[in-house]
Amino acid sequence: MARKLAGKSVVKTPDIRAVAALARVSIATVSRTINGSSAVSERLAKRVWQAINQLNYFPNTHARTLVSGRSRLFGIIVENITNPFFPELIQSFEEIAVAHGYEILVSSSNSDPARLATCIRRMLERKADGVAVLTFGEEEPLLEQLAHHHMPLVLAEFHLNSPKASTILLDYSTGIQAAVGHLSELGHRKIGFLTGPRKLHSALTRENDFRAAIKEAALPSHKSWIIECDHTLKGGAAGFTQLRSLPDPVTAVICSNDMTAIGVLRAAHFEGLRVPRDLSVIGLDDIDFAEFTLPPLTTIRLSRTDLAHAAFDALRQQVEEQSLGAIRREFLVTTSLVVRGSTAPPAWGG
């Protein structure tokens, strides 16, 4: 039907039959040669590979998926592709996946349950072999749906009660403790915290780890020193303003992510405050930009490559491990402090 178009015959892309014909073998032999699924004599294998190269043949993944039930497609759902942390994460995940012969389906939920529902539906329709849910969010009810379809899953910071779900544990406390320790050594006593949206697990965990670190360091704390922001640049700027209006301002602030911290840097500048002289600022993530802010941002590094690796490994184990039982269910990714230029001893107060 599409073979003749305006009288000009169109070359059809070669299929397994064309290869078989050229190599003078059966299509089964071609399939076996490509997949290495069972032994093929060297003589025939050679002829097959020759034919494949000659025709520039590659298998139709859809046909393959249809019969084998495996798509070699991994989904990755992130919170917000517009926060540089996530592209960097996706980039790592893609590299690893492609190196292992997988393709990826990217979606961002934008912390919107309706959008997440669409994402999930798309993953289901495309028959992803597994999905990494790196939204750090509060949309668990929806995830039940994925689990219900027996979709291998890996979640950040959340346990789903499904035999096919594993969890990546994020150890923020190591990095946060280091940050509080660093500030304390510098002489700061009054340290604020700009959290992310509290509906996010990750934000809540970070906040709790901060509280614990403050307590452990025997530093004073005050309710008004912890302010809920939204992990965006604008949110950080707004948070700063709120922080400054306090009767008894802090001398240092730790932010739930780098975007927030960068927002603070900017707002501080506009209000005439010099960082770090008048205020020390620490971020969390260590996005590529962090090194290029003014001043360069001291931050708690959360490795994207570690996270991507953990996510991919978890998924692959679920999918490829037939020895059910030997599967690792929990993966740990840790954090560490990177000291740059946005922290210094307090100029006043202390």
Partner DNA sequence: GTGAAAGCGCTAACAA
Partner DNA sequence: TTGTTAGCGCTTTCAC
Beta bridge partners of 336: 301
- Residue closest to 30 by CA, chosen among 12, 11, 10, 50: 50
CB atoms within 10 A of CB 344: 20
Interaction pattern, residues 116-145, with DNA; x per rule: CB under 7 A: ------------------------------
The verdict on 3 binding DNA (CB under 7 A) reads no
Q: C-alpha 90: how far from its chain's center?
A: 6
Is 82 near its own copies (CB under 8 A)?
yes
Is 11 a residue that touches DNA (CB under 7 A)?
no
Asked if 2 is part of the footprint of its own copies (rule: CB under 8 A), the reply reads yes
Work out which of 3, 4, 8, 43 binds DNA, going by CB under 7 A.
43
**Quick check: 51 binds DNA (CB under 7 A)?**
no
Q: Among residues 10, 28, 114, 339, which is the contact residue for its own copies, using CB under 8 A?
A: 10
| Residue number, 31 or 298, with CB nearest to DNA | 31
- Only one residue has tokens 């260590």, namely 286
34 is a site residue for DNA (CB under 7 A): yes
Return the residue of 22, 29, 116, 301 that touches DNA, per CB under 7 A: 29
147 binds DNA (CB under 7 A): no
| Candidate ranges 14-22, 202-210, 315-323, 332-340; the one touching DNA (CB under 7 A) | 14-22
From DNA, its own copies, none, interface partner of 27 (C-beta below 5 to 8 A by class): DNA
Q: Interface with DNA by CB under 7 A: which range of 57-65, 144-152, 236-244, 285-293? A: 57-65
Nearer to DNA, 68 or 224 (CB): 68
Residue of 175, 176, 126 lying closest to 151 (CA atoms): 126
Whether residue 86 contacts residue 79, with contact meaning beta carbons closer than 8 Å, is answered with: yes
User: Contacting its own copies (CB under 8 A), which of 30, 51, 104, 315?
Assistant: 104
Query: Residue 86, Cα to own-chain centre: how many angstroms?
Result: 6
Interface pattern 262-291 for its own copies (x via CB under 8 A): xx-xx--x------------------xx-x
Binding window for DNA (CB under 7 A); candidates: 23-31, 192-200, 215-223, 240-248:
23-31
Alpha carbon distance 124, 130 (integer Å): 9
Question: Binder to DNA among 10, 35, 222, 321 (CB under 7 A)?
Answer: 35
CB of 31 to DNA, least distance (A): 3
Taking the least distance from each CB to DNA, the nearer of 72 and 115 is 72
Task: List contacts with its own copies (CB under 8 A).
Answer: 2, 10, 13, 58-63, 65-66, 69, 71, 81-82, 84, 86-88, 90-91, 94, 98, 103-108, 118, 121-122, 124-127, 149-150, 233, 237, 262-263, 265-266, 269, 288-289, 291-294, 296
